[in-house]
Amino acid sequence: MPVQSIDIQTADGTMDAKLFSPEGQGPWPGVVMISDAGGTRPAFEAMAQRLASEGYVVLLPHVYYREGRAPLLGQGSMADESFRKRVFALLATLTPERILTDAAAEVGFLTSRPEVKRGGIGVVGYCMGGAVAMRMMAGFPEQVAAAASYHGGHLATDDPRSPHLLADKLRGELYFGHADKDVFMEAASIARLEEALKKAGVTFQSELYEGSGHGFAVNGSPAFTPQASERHWKTMLALFGRTLRV
């Protein structure tokens, strides 16, 4: 698949990213892929390439660009305290305000590309990217037609800025693939999220991937589960197929 290294101007600086396109002639639907807390790395580049091979233009942004160009973290394990502290420090930089600033640039870039099909785009996020996907749809309801979250964390909390409180601003279709016994998204939080979405009349699916841990979809994660990962591909492609290819 053709891959381009690109720079996108945001209100806060220059975001480095990669753009993956299908072979052949477009236009194709566009999708923004948001990495997990570990940031962009070869595993996510491979995932973006796979999605592009299915007929989508995929933007993979470096969400921590304010702290330096990718890669920032390199190889590491969340079992290592120093690595874990670095990850959490980076996560703390992604405030809701900054997420929307970046979303404006990402949506604007992707929808302006000649190879991207007119109409709504999609967003898929992993781990903390699930919350980003929700915020992007809530902030840009006219442009974001579909959003998917896989082993998303902290989607429904007591925080006054919790993503589930944006339910009444969600206009597209969403899919949630929850990890089983995920300390970042426990059963009570899943129920809270679903209740908010139902009350707001949001079109969504919320499924539990039984026996799978946080990170099941991402190759290289300690919780990576091939069967669950393939299920995630099936549900994601189904969502984007019925919402972005119309």
**CA R_g for the chain:** 17
- What is the model's pLDDT at position 163? 99
Domains of the chain: total = 1
Write out pLDDT tens, residues 17-32. Answer: 999 999 998 899 999 9
Residue 184 to residue 197: CA distance in whole angstroms: 19
Q: What domain range is 81 assigned to?
A: 3-244
| CB under 8 A, 24+ apart: contacts of 83-87 | 87/37, 87/38
State percent of the chain over pLDDT 90.
Answer: 88
User: What distance in Å separates the CA atoms of residue 71 and residue 60, rounded to the nearest whole number?
Assistant: 13
pLDDT of residue 38 exceeding 80:
yes
* CATH for 38: 3.40.50.1820
Contacts of 88 (CB under 8 A, 6+ apart): 37
Instruction: Please check the confidence at residue 78 and state whether its pLDDT lies above 70.
Output: no
Residue 77 has pLDDT above 70, yes or no: no
Quick one: pLDDT at residue 172?
97
141: tokens are 């309801």
Which residue carries 């091979």 as its tokens?
Answer: 53
Token code pair at residue 85: 């502290």
pLDDT band at 73 (very low <50, low <70, confident <90, very high): confident
Query: Is the predicted pLDDT of residue 180 greater than 70, yes or no?
Result: yes
The two three-digit tokens of residue 163, written as one number: 């993503």
pLDDT band at 83 (very low <50, low <70, confident <90, very high): confident
Mean pLDDT of the region 151-166: 98
Is this prediction's pTM over 0.85? yes
Question: Using one digit for the tens of pLDDT, what is the confidence trace for 128-141?
Answer: 999 999 999 999 99
Q: pLDDT digits over 186-230, tens only?
A: 999 999 999 999 999 999 999 999 999 999 999 999 999 999 999
Q: Taking a C-beta distance cutoff of 8 angstroms, is the pair 62, 39 a contact?
A: yes
